[in-house]
Structure 1
Amino acid sequence: MSDELFRSVFRRHPAGVTVVTLGSPSGPVGFTATSVVSVSMDPPLLSFAIAQTSSSLAALSRAESVLIHWPEAGQSDLATRFARSAQERFSDPEMWTALSSGEPLLHGVATWVRCLLTERVQAGDHTIVIGRVVEACMNGGGDNAPLAYLDGRYHELVPIGTP
């Protein structure tokens, strides 16, 4: 299988957009992740993947916990910011606050969870991280459309019909 064919297949698969943040001795760390999935309800576990080439990997390998934020419609700029170079991600001190546990909480993101990291598994050119959800917040009840990533671009999802 060629790398290009593999990428092309997954360009057709919409993925939810999240921003993962963590504290580190050298300051806040964060990155955009489209690989967050629910793993277990009991206990509440989720996973995400990070590239071996990521500038955030070293800090993540030492972290005990992370926050995962779910940007909504109108917040693609946030996802883009955390997909850029590391120096730009936390360059605006007005956009985040450190929780007492040390993770940076991004202002204006209605849905987030705090996870204690339980496992890290190297898989090819990525590391799969598993975390136990210990805290969750849904301000506004999730009324806004979620942000998705498809074919190299962000999209705002809208429901079809009525529930």
Structure 2
Amino acid sequence: MIDTSGETPENPRRLAGSDFREVLSTVPTGVVAITAMESGHPVGLVVGTFTSVSLNPPLVGFLPAVSSTSFPRVLAAGAFCANVLTHDQRDVCRAFAVSGNDKFAGLSWQPSPVTGSPVLDGVAAWIDCSITAVHEAGDHLIVIGAVEQMARTANSPSLLFYRGAYTHPRGTSDVLPPA
């Protein structure tokens, strides 16, 4: 529990980063590899914050860190493919999370049909997008992409990050039907 004793509207308690991370770790997040082609070379990064933004027009968003050295290369490409990793692709996640290495070494991929961004083999789904906006938000950026093409490609459970560890959905028995 976060201690708020002594807090008043005039003297609010500053949240510690560790408290913020601990509380928000209770929200499971999908793990997505963002890929692009920059000057004929594949580039990418992994993100844990990827979301649907709008159905009409179809828009998605992801939030890379301002300090990312890979995102400027994706931005320069003007387009990206969001690759929804499966639970069996933790090694792909680790490769894309490391700065400065060849993230595509040993990986098979195909160019996406519209932007040519890499679609990684074996992903649960891919979403091919053109970048339409980038907004600053604290120590992260909010990147908005217009969906050009997409497909669900595997029935494997998606890779999730929850409470500081990788996990996956446990099946459909605990899923409530739509209201």
> What letter corresponds to residue 120 of structure 1 in structure 2?
V
Structure 1 runs, 4 residues or longer, greater than 4 Å off: none
Q: Conserved in 1, the CA contact under 8 Å of 2:130 and 2:146? A: yes
SS in 2 for 1:116: strand
Unaligned residue ranges in structure 2 (runs of 5+)? 1-14
Instruction: Determine the C-alpha separation between the residues in 2 that align with 1:91 and 1:24.
Output: 16
- Asked if structure 1 preserves the Cα contact closer than 8 Å seen for 2:44 and 2:74, the reply is no
Return 36-45 or 97-106, whichever deviates more.
97-106
Alpha-carbon distance in structure 1 between the residues aligned to 2:110 and 2:41: 12
Q: Contact (CA 8 Å) 2:124, 2:157: kept in 1 or not?
A: no
Give the match for residue 83 of structure 2.
69
Residues 12-47 of structure 1 deviation map (CA, whole Å, 9 limit, x = unaligned): 221011111011127211111111111110000111
Deviation at 1:71, TM superposition (A): 1.2
Distance in 2 (CA, whole Å) between partners of 1:120 and 1:74 is 31
The 2-side partners of 1:79 and 1:40 are apart by 26
1:143-162 superposed Cα distances (whole Å, 9 cap, x missing partner): 32221001221102112527
Distance 1:53 1:27 in 2: 21
The DSSP-based 3-state class of the residue aligned with 1:81 is helix
> 2 CA distance for matches of 1:20 and 1:30?
5
Q: Specify whether residues 136 and 160 from structure 1 end up closer, same or farther in structure 2 by C-alpha distance, changes over 3 A only.
A: closer
Structure 2-normalised TM-score? 0.81
Decide which structure has greater helix share: 1
One-letter code of the match for 1:20? Answer: I
1:25 equivalent among 39, 42, 52 = 39
Considering only CA atoms, is the larger Rg found in Structure 1 or Structure 2?
A: 2
Partner residue, 1:128:
142
Distance in 2, Cα, partners of 1:17 & 1:136: 17
Q: Which residue of 2 aligns with 1:95?
A: 108
- Ranges in structure 1 where 5+ consecutive residues have no aligned partner: none
Q: How many residues align?
A: 160
Q: Which amino acid aligns with 1:157?
A: P
Matches within 5 A, 1:1-163: 1-25=15-39, 27-92=41-106, 94-99=107-112, 101-140=115-154, 143-161=155-173
Please name the residue that 2:12 is paired with: none
Name which structure has the greater RCO, CA cutoff 8 Å, separation 6+.
1
TM-score by length of 1: 0.89
Deviations 1:60-93 (A, max 9, x none): 232221000111121222112111233131122x
Change (3 A) 1:58 1:26: farther
Instruction: Provide the identity percentage.
Output: 31
2:8 maps to: none
Shift in Å at residue 2 of structure 1? 1.0
